[in-house]
């Protein structure tokens, strides 16, 4: 036992060691932000139970919230490159705080829908800046570990906030809105006080070489293929929150049953993210992406055979393992394929693929379940996972060696740029 305890402490120390101080302030900001993420958790209950609106209206508001995220992904990516990571984070988090607080005081259905759209835009705008800043300040060999730790903070915060949201909602929904606004503003203060700007200095433009713009991203065939594949994988993962509750309800299970089984997802991510990170950080991302895509597809595919809570939990264990492997590996791949001066735009495009998936997934699951039954949805997940796995296997054949890092990869005429910490803009 002492040996085991010592081994665990050593493993934990090695997992968190060697990362710059700025990363840990960014990590703290992410954790605080997710600890206060109450609105997304109880929005449907707030609209239907507290305000008395229909489930259709609640679905419309959720879609508008997601649409705001889709629109802001690219805009935030551009701002991240042009204004810098720090100003974009400040703008996004302060706007989120204000809009969330405002949402709590809205009563008219049109006003609620409009402000929910603004909340979706503001809350999603910080993601490209956070991911670009991590890529700026963390050494290439440590990025998968850093992205894993950031993803762990997101899920740890969400797990705690989900549990707290129920208790807060029993007291006051408005209190939940105001508490989220306050905690998000705390994140903005942390960014302002502790995080220096990390945007790399502009490099001398090579004659005839275009700047990195959105057209550059769209013309980057290899990267856009990654975006397309990430969209397919995101469609699969979204079914855990849109298709699974509907299918379980039709099978006679209660909302409490769904809450119990989906909690396995959050608990496993919190428990497994760090040890799995140690296992995958030095392994070939090609294989990791192929395997995680197949695990996701067939993990959901197994749901077709689930008839008890235990089997549902088992299937969730399978696709949660895929999620733990896929998320940091895919984000690290995006960084490797992004030119330094275009990290924000590239991260924005990647973030948009997940936002679009969040919009499309409910439509796909609803149509398939209504017309063909839940078993067809789970079979379709297996097919999509297989397609994504094959796509990654084909695409990864031309992936540059990791030691070369993404900055030495010419992208649409953009010259390679340096990656040393000397090329980071000093704190302003």
Same domain, 218 and 333: yes
One domain for residues 349 and 322: yes
In this structure, is residue 308 part of a structural domain?
yes
Confidence of residue 420 (pLDDT cuts 50, 70, 90): very low
Q: Which pLDDT tens digit goes with each residue over 163-186?
A: 676 677 777 888 888 988 998 998
Q: Which of 204, 119, 143 is nearest to 334 (CA)?
A: 143
| Bridge partners, 424 (sequence order) | 200
Q: Is 403 exposed, middle or buried (0-12, 13-18, 19+ CB in 10 A)?
A: exposed
Residues 136 and 246 both lie in one domain: no
165 with 286, same domain? no
Closest CA to 12 of 332, 271, 292: 271
Does 3 map to a domain?
no
Residue 1 lies in a domain: no
Within a domain: 352:
yes
Top-confidence residue, 294 or 404: 294
Residue 121 lies in a domain: yes
CA neighbor of 189 nearest in space, from 270, 259, 89, 280: 89
Give CA–CA dist 174/180, Å, rounded.
10
Confidence at residue 348, expressed as pLDDT on a 0 to 100 scale: 87
Between 167 and 136, residue with greater pLDDT: 136
In tens, the pLDDT along 336-352 reads: 888 877 888 888 889 88
- Tell whether 243 is covered by a domain: yes
pTM of the model: 0.74
In this structure, the answer to whether residues 231 and 141 fall within a common structural domain is: no
Of 125-129, 299-303, 410-414, where does mean pLDDT reach its minimum?
A: 410-414
Residues 35 and 109 in one domain: yes
Task: Round to whole Å and give the CA distance between 334 and 345.
Answer: 11
| Tens-digit pLDDT profile for residues 199-231 | 887 654 444 445 677 788 888 888 999 999 999
Residue 374: exposure state from Cβ atoms within 10 A (0-12, 13-18, ≥19): buried
186 and 264 inside one domain:
no
Q: How confident is the model at residue 2 (pLDDT cuts 50, 70, 90)?
A: very low
The reply to whether 398 and 317 lie within a common domain is: yes
Report the domain count for the chain: 2
Q: Indicate whether 317 and 241 sit together in one domain.
A: yes
**CATH code at 32?**
1.20.1250.20
Query: What pLDDT sits at residue 363?
Result: 78
Q: 402 with 271, same domain?
A: yes
Average pLDDT over residues 380-397: 92
* Residue 165: both structure tokens together: 């949201």
Q: Are residues 129 and 80 in contact, defined by beta-carbon separation less than 8 angstroms?
A: yes
Residue 406 counted as domain residue:
yes
Q: Among 200, 227, 254, which residue terminates a domain?
A: 200
Domain membership of residue 6 (yes or no) is no
CA separation, residue 132 to residues 180, 200, 291 (Å): 24, 10, 26
Query: Do residues 253 and 370 both lie within one domain?
Result: yes
3-class SS at 420? coil
pLDDT of residue 237: 93
Give the domain-ending residue among 172, 200, 228. 200
Task: State the SS3 of 131-177.
Answer: HHHHHHHCCHHHHHHHHHHHHHHHHHHHHHHHHHHHHHHHHCHHHHH
Are residue 362 and residue 278 in the same domain, yes or no? Answer: yes
Residue 425: the pLDDT is 39
Segment 231-259 mean pLDDT = 85
Domain that holds residue 409: 214-413
Picking from 170, 200, 230, the residue at the C-terminal end of a domain is 200
Average pLDDT rounded to a whole number, residues 277-301 = 89
């Amino acid at each position: 036992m002492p040996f085991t305890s010592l081994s665990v402490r050593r493993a934990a120390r090695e997992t968190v060691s060697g990362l710059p101080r700025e990363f840990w302030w960014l990590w703290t900001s992410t954790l605080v932000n997710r600890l206060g993420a109450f609105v997304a958790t109880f929005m449907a209950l707030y609209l239907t139970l507290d305000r008395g609106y229909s489930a259709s209206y609640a679905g419309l508001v959720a879609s508008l919230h997601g649409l705001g995220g889709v629109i802001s992904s690219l805009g935030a990516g551009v701002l991240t490159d042009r204004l810098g990571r720090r100003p974009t984070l400040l703008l996004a988090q302060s706007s989120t705080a204000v809009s969330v607080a405002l949402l709590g005081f809205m009563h008219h259905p049109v006003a609620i829908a409009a402000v929910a759209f603004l909340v979706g835009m503001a809350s999603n705008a910080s993601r490209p800046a956070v991911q670009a800043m991590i890529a700026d300040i963390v050494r290439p060999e440590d990025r998968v570990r850093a992205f894993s730790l950031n993803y762990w903070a997101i899920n740890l915060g969400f797990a705690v906030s989900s549990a707290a949201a129920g208790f807060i909602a029993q007291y006051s929904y408005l209190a939940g809105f105001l508490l989220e606004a306050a905690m998000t503003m705390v994140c903005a203060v942390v960014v302002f006080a502790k995080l220096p700007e990390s945007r790399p200095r502009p490099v001398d433009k090579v004659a005839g070489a275009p700047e990195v713009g959105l057209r550059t991203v769209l013309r980057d065939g290899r990267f856009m293929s990654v975006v397309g594949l990430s969209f397919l994988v995101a469609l699969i993962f979204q079914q855990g929150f849109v298709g699974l509750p509907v299918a379980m309800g039709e099978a006679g299970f209660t909302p409490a049953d769904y809450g119990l089984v989906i909690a396995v997802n959050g608990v496993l991510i919190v428990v497994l993210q760090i040890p799995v990170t140690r296992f995958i950080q030095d392994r070939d991302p090609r294989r990791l992406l192929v395997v995680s895509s197949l695990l996701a597809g067939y993990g959901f595919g197994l749901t077709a055979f689930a008839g008890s809570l235990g089997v549902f939990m088992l299937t969730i264990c399978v696709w949660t393992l895929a999620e733990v492997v896929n998320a940091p590996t895919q984000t690290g791949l995006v960084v490797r394929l992004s030119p330094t001066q275009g990290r924000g735009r590239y991260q924005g495009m990647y973030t948009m693929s997940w936002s679009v998936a969040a919009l499309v997934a409910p439509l796909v699951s609803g149509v398939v379940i209504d017309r063909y039954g839940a078993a067809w949805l789970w079979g379709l997940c297996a097919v999509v996972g297989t397609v994504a796995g094959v796509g990654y296997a084909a695409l990864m054949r031309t992936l540059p060696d990791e030691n070369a890092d993404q900055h030495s990869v010419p992208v649409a005429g953009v010259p390679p740029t340096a990656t040393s910490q000397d090329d980071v803009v000093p704190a302003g």
